[in-house]
Amino acid sequence: MSSDIPQSLLPQSDAGEMVVISPGHFLALPRPDILTGPPAGAPDTSTVAAHDFDVDNSTGFMPPQPPLARLPPLWEAWELALEDGLAAKLQLADKPDQSDTDRNRARHWQARVRELPVLPVTQLKESEVLLRRGHLVLTWMLHLYIRTLPLDLPELRIPPPLSIPLLQISSHLQLPPVLTYSDTVLYNWALIKHVPLTIASPAPALDNLRCNTLFTGTRDEAEFYLSSARIELRGVQALSLMRAMMDEAFVGDAIAIQRITSYLHALAGVIGELTKLMLDVREGCDPNVFFNDIRPWFRGADSDSPRRPWIFEGLESDPSLKEPTELSGPNAGQSAVIHALDIFLGADRYSHASHVTGHGRSSSASASSSPSSTSSPSSSSTPSPLADKPKPSVSFLARMQVYMPRHHRAFLRHLSADPRPIRNLVTESSDTSLKEAYNAAISALKVFRDAHVRIVAIYIVGPGKKGARPQEEQKGTGGTSAITFVKSVRDQIQGALLPDVEA
């Protein structure tokens, strides 16, 4: 048995006796490298310790302490450039009735970015925290730069002082060189009041969060990101229930089945709370402000209509750099806690089905690939390979895992490799109460997806029909049809319900 597994994490019988685990059991297998994963055909046993997946027992996929708010002095030029660009209140290039002053202000800031030195990232690689901050600063700067460029440019060129360090950092983090959910939500918060965390209150209060970085500086934008942050924090209880059920599943006796039944009902309740938190975004974020003033800033390359390629200049200076193939921008589909719910309940076979793409662009990148380095090196004069071309069908949600922090992707792989899936346990059981509890959890998940459909209708479809950007009505982040996609996922979840059982 693996000597580095604490006894408290090993399954026990109801009498408290240690359950004997065979040498071939997944808990007894050695841990593979966290970056490369397990050998082909082997379950992912990276760890049974949540912190190895960068998942905290109190804050889940969010860091347990407020994330780093500023890089060390060596990279102060990046911080200042972003800070000044946001303070200048630059206007979106497609905003109507821009003044000459607005355009000159944008040109001046863009020139400043082009004149920055190409700063080294070697020392950043010594710390995951520094790398995350570097990715956040440079991707916010990237979107600020891209979205203020003139509309008549056939391609959007990103200068070497920005493109080179961003691609280097992204390659090391195994993330796309574009804003992600982690840059806008997971690592973009601070405490309003510095209340010490205690054993009794180990996580920040949901109403004690603020955003560090905003394009518009508005409450609407802050509330949009914070609504997701609150879902992440409340989702910790769901993760705790999943862990408890997995422990009980290894025991599998009658008492364990009773406990799993109770935990499934509790999980349904937590998912209900997540649904309310999602809908609460309406209290602080105006749909028209979101659609016209906020959303355009963080759209990725494949959300543009017409599409203009993003050209990362300077790739020829570093042979290790490769043209990115994933530039979708952030969205809630990149939340690991939502994926974890699907996977744990066995609903991912429906929500992550290959045809659930929102009939947008399919990508050749898979959830296990390195998104910033999936094609051959290219010179700065070669257009990005994001041009429309036939590619293998990959579900939208599977593709969005590419945009998650790599440790969170490892967690989802680990969860997917559970040798005793809850859905299998339920379907193989003759216990009607267990099946009803499972269906209750699936039904709650469907209600959550119903709420997502409502939010997309309110914040994208409605404003798109009457707003200044009607071409965006159908385009969601990631090149999908937003409303078609969320409806498709909602309808697919229905298929996870067990037949002939009352929910």
The full set of domains in the chain, from first to last, is: 73-494 (1.20.58.480)
At 97, the pLDDT band (50, 70, 90 cuts) reads: confident
Confidence check: pLDDT of 49 > 70: no
The more confident residue out of 385 and 429 is 429
User: 392-401, pLDDT tens digit by residue?
Assistant: 467 888 899 9
pLDDT (0 to 100) of residue 171: 96
Instruction: Tell me what pLDDT residue 114 has.
Output: 98
Query: Do 494 and 446 touch, CB atoms closer than 8 A?
Result: yes
Residue 439, amino acid: N
H/E element holding 260? helix 254-279
Distance between CA atoms of residues 300 and 153, nearest Å: 17
**How many alpha carbons fall within 13 Å on the CB side of residue 307?**
19
* Structure-block tokens of residue 167: 């691609």
Strand segments, DSSP code E, in 101-168 are 156-158
Q: pLDDT tens across 170-228, in order?
A: 999 999 999 999 999 999 999 999 887 777 777 899 999 999 999 999 999 999 999 99
Asked whether the predicted pLDDT for residue 366 surpasses 90, the reply is no
Q: What is the pLDDT of residues 381-417, one digit of tens each?
A: 334 434 444 444 678 888 999 999 999 999 999 999 9
Nearest to 493 by CA among 483, 485, 501: 485
Nearest to 417 by CA among 7, 53, 9: 53
The secondary structure element, H or E, covering residue 272 is helix 254-279
Mean predicted lDDT score pLDDT of the chain: 83
Question: Any known ligand binding at 194?
Answer: no
Q: Say if pTM beats, i.e. exceeds, 0.85.
A: no
* Contact predicate 335/181, CB 8 Å: yes
Chain centre to alpha carbon of residue 411? 13
Q: Return the pLDDT at 21.
A: 42
